Amino acid sequence: MKAVVCSRYGPPEVLQLREVDPPVPKSHEVCIRIRATAVTSSDCIVRSGRVYLRLWLPMRVVIGFRAPRKPLGMVLAGDVVSVGKDVESFRPGDEVFGFDRFGFATYAQFKCISQRGLLTPKPSNVSYEEAAAIPYGGLLALYYLKRGGIRDGERVLIYGASGAVGTSAVQLARHFGASVVGVCSTANLDLVASLGADAVLDYTKEDFIERGDLYDLILDAVPAAHRTARLEGKGGLTPSGKYVSVTSGSPAFHHEGLALLKELTEAGQLRPVIDRTYPLEQIVEAHRYVDTGHKKGNVVITVG
């Protein structure tokens, strides 16, 4: 099968499309024919190998010292082609989507994943490409909004509202009953407004802190690789308000979260946002684009 292998840590050019042996499902695993995946900011961090010094050794131990041991990619949408003897939750022909944070290997034609992993039936009203644009940003947004204790009636500010996490966070915060203010650049104002934000601020023209508005929750959704400044401690919060950043802590994801994203998508309350779509053969170009830090929503890879 075709799979993208990272020959060493470095720029996008270290990615190579190769022929590798297809995986065989273990007794508890599902084998999926991947139709679409996504290039996330986390994928680019893994590929580059650039992490905070305190994370350098743990990352190399888990992922590989000279290069990642497995093909890259965390997100998938596709069809179940075979299952292990102990699998009861899925059967061949099922359309699924999911997320494998540590197992990687979704930049490939086939992947095996545990039936107990982050895998669930694909939303029936979206394409494989749209489904692949849901898990990464959706799960991160869901985790950090809940970590911030989001409640109905609160005033929430999403900084970096046009990225993969931000576009999901705007919609999820609305689902939880919050009043949402999105912050993004001039080019993305209409996009963020279309997702349901009550107000959208252009960070290139004004500082939301200097406006004097107060928020119950500020979610900083800008990835570490594209961060220019930290917002924590700069104000803008009510006395009991919370600041949460996607660069803090190690998020925990659960199957219930993925199921909720599916439910909201089918109900029309969560719309996946896709900026660009590339074929698997253009994975280098896709990584180059994500590295710029200017993508809107998600960059999707069609596998076929």
What does the domain layout of the chain look like in residue ranges?
2-134+272-302, 137-245
pLDDT category at 209 given cuts 50, 70, 90 is: confident
- 99 in Cβ contact with 141 (< 8 Å): no
Least confident stretch, 152-156, 210-214, 259-263: 210-214
DSSP, collapsed to helix, strand or coil, labels residue 146 as helix
Helices (H), 64-217: 128-132, 135-147, 164-175, 189-194
DSSP, collapsed to helix, strand or coil, labels residue 29 as strand
pLDDT category at 263 given cuts 50, 70, 90 is: very high
- Is the pLDDT reported for residue 61 higher than 60? no
- Is the pLDDT reported for residue 90 higher than 90? yes
Span 19-36, pLDDT tens digits: 999 999 999 999 999 999
Q: What is the pLDDT of residue 55?
A: 59
Straight-line distance from the first to the last Cα atom of the chain, in angstroms, rounded to the nearest whole number: 12
- The rounded mean pLDDT for the chain is 92
Q: At CA 170, angle to CA 169 and CA 172, rounded to 5?
A: 60
pLDDT category at 162 given cuts 50, 70, 90 is: very high
**In the CATH scheme, what is the code of domain 137-245?**
3.40.50.720
Q: What is the pLDDT of residue 230?
A: 57
Distance CA 187, CA 93 (A): 41
What is the value of pTM for the model shown?
Answer: 0.93
Q: To which CATH superfamily is domain 2-134+272-302 assigned? A: Medium-chain alcohol dehydrogenases, catalytic domain (3.90.180.10)
Distance CA 123, CA 251 (A): 24
Distance CA 39, CA 224 (A): 16
Residue type, 303: V
